[in-house]
Amino acid sequence: MIIPLAHRAGQTQEYYFSVKLAEVRQLIAAGHDVINMGIGNPDMMPSAETIDTLAQVAQRPDAHGYQPYKGTPAFRQAVAGFYKHTYGVSLDPDTEILPLIGSKEGITHISLTFLNEGDGVLVPELGYPAYRAVSKLVGANVREYPLGENNGWQPDWAALSELVQQAPAKIMWLNYPHMPTGAPATKALFEQAVRFAHDHKVLLCHDNPYSLVLNKQAPISLLSIDGAKEVAMELNSMSKSHNMAGWRVGWLSAAKPYIDAVLTIKSNVDSGMFRPLLDAATVALNNPDSWHAERNAVYAGRLSAVYAFLDTLGCTYATNQEGMFIWAKLPDSVPSAEELVNRLLIEKHVFIAPGFIFGPKGQRYIRVSLCVDESRIREAVARLSPTETPA
Ligand SMILES: Cc1ncc(COP(=O)(O)O)c(C=O)c1O
């Protein structure tokens, strides 16, 4: 006998990577040398000062108890300093910043805070899968909005206006630099988004984890746009920009009423974050610009190897992409992304992500991660060669 699950458990599928990475682990356990270019899991270290702080604070007897639900004042102060330095945005560290256990959990807390069953949620037709999955979990009505491939994967605002005229929406998820397409953020795009949110009384939830990764121009925050704080919140994360994905440190920035509302829900779900982690993250937020430049130089070196990999597969791609992935279109000769991804994994022991996991429009695309040492990417290129004996 098994106790029946809630309806929502039956409606949701296990996360693609949760399933696929188990397959990758099985291949590794069987002795295969798998090159994993599927996930955005930074392989470089956080700054040395960050690690030192973690170790030092962990020695302190007072560092192991529960911490405030809103994190330490020093952490929030560091976030405010980071926002000012990076984006020129002023945030009140006492009222406009809420630490999160990674920005992914913020998506759930925001959805629980603002969405009633049946409320409309606008999600990009290609995007981070959690926006769609969590909206469904809370019983909201997911409505995909188109991104124009010929328009650099920007939202199609005319189509969006039509969507909200058909039925109102409560939340719109936005994410630029965009994952998976690598489309950059622009001030014009953010201004348009804030105008749209005002015009249609939609809460704009911007997810901004990639602004410091291979960015071609100064990073932008949606909150830098006039009038944004009335209608918008911004998630940010140390996972990608500070090489701290496993630490689970992110935060929500928004006007006080929004932060207070999310905290009401969140404080019933978890009980703060580990003090050594908060103190170390506080230090990491003060990494000098040169630290970010060095990390980006390594990613830039990997780009040419990834381009060689994609060229060998006959894929096409834009070279202005930001973030830690390259999004590429399959040649007509490849039947589907699923076929290619499975074939490469089984025959070449190379794992890449199929585009469909980011939405139905991704059927003929793949996403390749830059979180792999350049020599390993070159090895993946070599394994594609027809003369190469499969590893
Ligand atoms: C667009 C986007 N948002 C959010 C996240 C989650 O970030 P975090 O590690 O802070 O939960 C990711 C991670 O891959 C992402 O790509």
Q: What is the pLDDT of residues 225-239, one digit of tens each?
A: 999 999 999 999 999
Other CB atoms within a 10 A radius of the CB of residue 300 amount to 11
Residue 166 tokens, joined: 């058909």
Give the CA diameter of the chain.
Answer: 62
Does position 147 have pLDDT exceeding 60, yes or no? yes
pLDDT reported for residue 183: 98
> Ligand 1 center to residue 9 CA distance, Å?
22
**Nearest atom (ligand 1) to Cα of 105:** 11
Q: Is the CB of 239 under 6 A from ligand 1?
A: yes
Q: Is the CB of 102 under 6 A from ligand 1?
A: yes
Does position 15 have pLDDT exceeding 80, yes or no? no
User: What's the full length of the chain, in residues?
Assistant: 391
pLDDT reported for residue 391: 40
pLDDT in tens, 270-283: 999 999 999 999 99
Q: How large is the average pLDDT for residues 316-323?
A: 97
pLDDT reported for residue 386: 67
CB 380, CB 35: distance < 8 Å: yes
> Ligand 1 center to residue 207 CA distance, Å?
8
Sorting pLDDT into bands at 50, 70 and 90, what band is 2? confident
Domains of the chain (ranges; CATH) run 7-45+290-388 (3.90.1150.10), 63-286 (3.40.640.10)
pTM here is 0.95
Q: Which of 3-7, 71-75, 368-372 has the lowest mean pLDDT?
A: 3-7
Q: Which residue has the tokens 């199609």?
A: 156
pLDDT reported for residue 13: 73
Q: Whose CA is nearest to atom 2 of ligand 1?
A: 128
> Ligand 1 center to residue 73 CA distance, Å?
24
**Nearest atom (ligand 1) to Cα of 249:** 10
Does position 387 have pLDDT exceeding 80, yes or no? no
pLDDT in tens, 59-74: 999 999 999 999 999 9
Does position 203 have pLDDT exceeding 90, yes or no? yes
> Ligand 1 center to residue 271 CA distance, Å?
21
Q: Which residue has the higher pLDDT, 7 or 234?
A: 234
> Ligand 1 center to residue 104 CA distance, Å?
6
% of residues, the chain, pLDDT over 90: 92
Q: Is the CB of 245 under 6 A from ligand 1?
A: yes
In terms of phi and psi (left: phi > 0; alpha: psi -120 to 50; beta: otherwise), the region of 368 is beta
pLDDT reported for residue 389: 42
Q: Is the CB of 234 under 6 A from ligand 1?
A: no
